[in-house]
Amino acid sequence: MSDHDPARPGTTPDDEPTRRPGELGVRELGRWTWRQLTSMRTALVLLLLLALAAVPGSVVPQEDIDALKASQWRESHPTLAPIYEKLGLFNVYETPWFAAIYLLLMVSLVGCIIPRTGVYWRALRARPPRAPRNLTRLADHTTYETDQAPDVVLARAVEVLRGRRYRVEVSTGSTDGGAGSTDGDRWVSAERGYLREAGNLLFHLSILVVLVGFAMGSLFGYKGGTIVVVGKGFSNNVTLYDDFVPGSLFRQEWMEPFAFDVTDFDIEWLTDGPAAGQARKFVSHLTYTEEPGGPEREYDLRVNHPLTIGDTDVFLIGHGYAPVITVRDGNGDVAWTGPTIFLPTDGTFRSFGVVKASDARPEQIGLQGELYPTFGFQAGEDGIGPYSAFGDALDPLVSLTVWKGDLGMDDPGSQSVYVLDTSKAEQVTKEDGSMFRLDLRPGDQVELPDGLGTVEFERLERWNRIQISQTPGKLVALTGVSLALLGLIGSLYVRPRRVWVRARRTGSGDDARTVVEIAGLDRSGGGDVPAELAEVQAGIMETPASKEQDA
């Protein structure tokens, strides 16, 4: 007895499942998915998604571009920072979701380009289509009569159309019963604008080239940043970078063995208008060597004018002030001295920084506060407060609070040099319990309460923010952008167009005339086809005798 139950759909007498109408199998589902992925619409959607995914990379500070700004952003937004961390918004271009969009776009483009290339290749080799039976039914057409024989008219049409860069096909005049011919019918079919599709293919191929170029830079290159005080130097070694982000396939031995010194720094300040007090132009003067013991060269490093050494580019991306502060402890020993990097917080270079004198005895000493290059007071929402009236150091002043005790320096490597851990420390106060604050100008020295020691503001120096990167795929990406521009020009300005000319003899004897029909079709839309047909007609009607007469 069979287990088949007619009431149970999906079973057969042999217990084999059947497919319902419209149900897709694994192969059909895979084929449908592939067609959807490789459609031009999907490619455009993925390209838009990639652009949208890159937006956070330009809005949120990126760790691989400027770790300092990323750290400051985290401190300023303690609520959003954990969410952004989970989403990877501080390192957008290294996140799995960005890589997924990137790879899907590449697959989609390859799937679009290969089939369309085959179609385009066959179209290049194909002949222009036959003339339609009724040319006068086309939207753009013209008709005239002449005494010339049809063969003469068509021969002249071939000459004119080829002169206008058309590919031409001439009928044989046979009566094969095809849709494009009639008994005794003679016609010329011409087509041009094949490069439009080539422009489209080149544009999509160029996007793929750009993606490959960026991928090469991400995999085989690196990007790092360092702050160099004017008068100091830097050697291209991983250990000397403030932040260093290598590609997943990068090898340290690929780094160029160069070194440079920042010998001087020039800057121009805006003195008039609403932007007064801000920097307009700055130049860092470098002396560098491309290898140890090599000849010393000079270079003026400016914004958007990097120094290129081999495959490595050195950029100037920022600058600021570094007050030289000396801290002596209660025993009179120097616990800290040297230029301290203060980070700008506004356009007038009001800057924030910290000093960690962890070697001070009997207690560690920490300082944190602000630098005002041109100190002044102004009225605000909280009353009158300090501000920097100008970006140039016309009247520099540092205002610092003092902390003593445990600064959490047991593991210095786990702390940012721009953050002072005061969770276990005690703020130094005056005898009456009010806040003790240091307001120092260059040359000032103040004694700390409770015999902690002294703090001296010796002078003010400048620093430069230098970004160093090696991007092997930049020429590939630049080539892709250039090809995209060429492809876009071709797809916008090349108009695929077809023109047909038919000539047939009517009447007999002295009344015999040749009826010439000319029609055109602009396949891109928006073309001035009537003007084109008028020029073709004028060229056909122009006889050799008239040419000689005009000459």
- DSSP letters for 218-278: HHH-EEEEEEEETT-EEES-GGG-SEEEE-TT--GGGS---EEEEEEEEEEE--SSTTTTS
Helices 26-37, 96-125: crossing angle, 10 deg rounding:
90
pLDDT band at residue 175, thresholds of 50, 70 and 90? very low
- pLDDT, tens only, 242-281: 888 888 899 999 999 999 999 999 998 887 777 676 778 8
Q: What is the mean pLDDT of residues 441-466?
A: 94
Enclosing H/E stretch for 519: strand 513-522
Nearest residue to 190 via CA among 444, 519, 420, 458: 519
d(CA 481, CA 22): 44
For residue range 148-164, list pLDDT tens digits in order. Answer: 889 999 999 999 999 99
Name the DSSP class of 171. Answer: -
CA distance 345 to 388: 11
- The average pLDDT across 355-373 equals 93
Q: Is 380 helix (H, G, I), strand (E, B) or coil?
A: strand
The larger pLDDT score, comparing residue 15 to residue 44, is at: 44
Of the two residues 418 and 513, the one the predictor is more confident about is: 513
The closest of 63, 64, 71, 92 to 221, measured between CA atoms, is: 64
How many angstroms separate the Cα of 499 from the Cα of each of 144, 152, 166, 185? 16, 18, 9, 17
Mean pLDDT, rounded, for 527-537? 88
- How many residues does this entry show for the chain? 551
Which helix (H) or strand (E) is 8 found in, with range?
Answer: none
- Structure confidence at residue 334 as a pLDDT band (50, 70, 90): very high
Residue 509 pLDDT more than 80?
A: no
Whole-model pTM: value is 0.69
Q: Enumerate the CATH 3.30.310 domain ranges in the chain, comma separated.
A: 132-193+498-550
The conformation of residue 135, written as its DSSP 8-state character, comes to: G
Instruction: Over range 409-417, report the average pLDDT.
Output: 65
How far apart, in whole angstroms, are the C-alpha atoms of residue 73 and residue 89? 12
Confidence category of residue 352, pLDDT binned at 50, 70, 90: very high
Cβ neighbour number for residue 244 with a 10 Å cutoff: 17
> Among 455, 457, 448, 453, which residue's Cα sits nearest to residue 329?
453
Block residue for tokens 């521009």: 485
Using CA atoms, how far apart are residues 370 and 320, in angstroms rounded to an integer?
Answer: 13
pLDDT at 395: 94
> In the predicted model, what is the mean pLDDT of the chain?
85
Give dist(CA 388, CA 386) in Å, integer: 7
State residue 526's pLDDT score: 63
16-to-11, 12, 22, 181, 481 alpha-carbon distances in Å: 6, 5, 18, 55, 56
Q: 497, 402, 518: which is closest to 165 by C-alpha?
A: 497
Buried residues in 430-457 as b, exposed as e (16+ CB within 10 A):
eeeeeebebebebeeeeebeeebbebbb
Gyration radius from the chain CA atoms: 38
The topology under which CATH files domain 132-193+498-550 is TATA-Binding Protein (3.30.310)
Distance CA 190, CA 159 (A): 11
Q: Does residue 177 register a pLDDT over 70?
A: no
